[in-house]
Structure 1
Amino acid sequence: MRRGRVPNLLLTALPDGPAHGYELMDRLEAASGGTWRPSPGSVYPLLQSFVDSGLVEGREAQGRKVFALTEAGREHALQQRVGTAEPGPYSPDVHHSPLRTEMERLKAAARQVSASEASPEQLEEAIAVVRGARQTLYRILMDQ
């Protein structure tokens, strides 16, 4: 993801409702089909700069700082959604391929194994499966 696009993408995620930084990162990751997730180190400074410029307001809610668009921010975000010429992770036209869907399912399964009380042997087996899948994908590319 090009650095210059991150601020506008972050703003275009806020019309979906107020959110804290990690929630915004989740929205952008989901909108990109799991191919991109901004880091906290880029999101939180941007949110603060949006607050400073009057595009976003921050408030405490349930022990977290939640951000919402101001009227000026809403107008700016709408212009960014409409004016985006090239598709990006938050564009509704992003191609969501069957391969991406399966990658997300694999990622979810791996997270579940990791979070479970799997034995060391089960974890090693899971690692081998993921490693094998990665190696097989590279072999597919080499056969072209």
Structure 2
Amino acid sequence: MSGQHDGGRGGGRHGRGGPFGRHRGGPFGGRGPRMFDPGALRLVVLGLIAEEPRHGYDIIKALEAKFQGAYSPSPGAIYPMLQMLEEADLVVSAANGNKRLYSITEQGKAYLEENAAELAKINAQIDETSTQVSGVALGDEVKALNFAVFSRLRSGSLTAMQAEKAREILKQARRDLEDL
């Protein structure tokens, strides 16, 4: 399991998958609404920090840019991961105003070298996914639509007739997308 010791099966200090478990061959988790397999996300984050020291917010924005707005990890996913990377001695952090700046350690560089092929595979998958839409940032429109729908719902300003019309618009949009 991710993050757990290997229970005596070998694989060194951190178990078979390294300091944060084995990821399942790419950024896309096999179940639920998660965009990333947790191990793959950790590897990508470590790779981003290896490029240059970064704050957590910078990592979130870099991932969002890689996916052209279609994916943005939550702070609740990134900050605990950064703490775990630091506990595994793969990164160090230093106070930088009211933020922490994360830098890769020699141990982190060695881990990236050991997993360079896997990171390249994950990054290629990300690039392929983000370029498949020819530079169109669909994620931004999905977010804007989500905001518009929930803003109207929270305001309580929709009549029953407007709510039914909105539902039909959304159903038709979903059908149109499925038929592409």
Give me the whole-angstrom Cα distance separating, in 2, the residues matched to 1:47 and 1:71.
16
The aligned counterpart of 1:11 is 46
Equivalent residue number for residue 97 of structure 1: 132
CA drift of 1:10 comes to 1.4
**TM-score, structure 1 length as denominator?**
0.65
**Equivalent of 1:47, from 59, 64, 82?**
82
Q: CA RMSD in A?
A: 3.7
The one-letter code sitting in structure 2 at the alignment partner of 1:34 is: G
Shift of 1:134: 5.9
Question: Which one-letter code corresponds to 1:28 in the other structure?
Answer: L
Task: From the superposition, tell whether residues 136 and 82 of structure 1 become closer, same or farther in structure 2 (CA, over 3 Å).
Answer: same
Contact 2:66/2:130, CA 8 A, preserved across alignment: no
Contact in 1 for aligned 2:69/2:140 (Cα 8 Å): no
Map of 1:80 onto structure 2 = 115
Structure number with the higher helix fraction is 1
CA distance in structure 1 between the aligned counterparts of 2:112 and 2:168, rounded to whole angstroms: 43
Kindly tell me the number of residue pairs found equivalent between the two proteins: 129
Contact residue 81 and residue 91 of structure 1 kept, 8 A = no
Amino acid at match of 2:101: V
Distance apart, 1:59 and its partner CA? 0.1
Change (3 A) 1:136 1:51: same
Q: Name the amino acid aligned to 1:140.
A: D
Are 2:131 and 1:65 equivalent residues in the alignment? no
Higher radius of gyration, 1 or 2: 2
Deviations 1:34-56 (Å, cap 9, x if unpaired)?
A: 22222211211111121122110
Partner of 1:138: 174
Cα distance in structure 2, aligned partners of 1:32 and 1:69? 23
Name the CA distance, whole Å, in 2 between partners of 1:89 and 1:33.
15
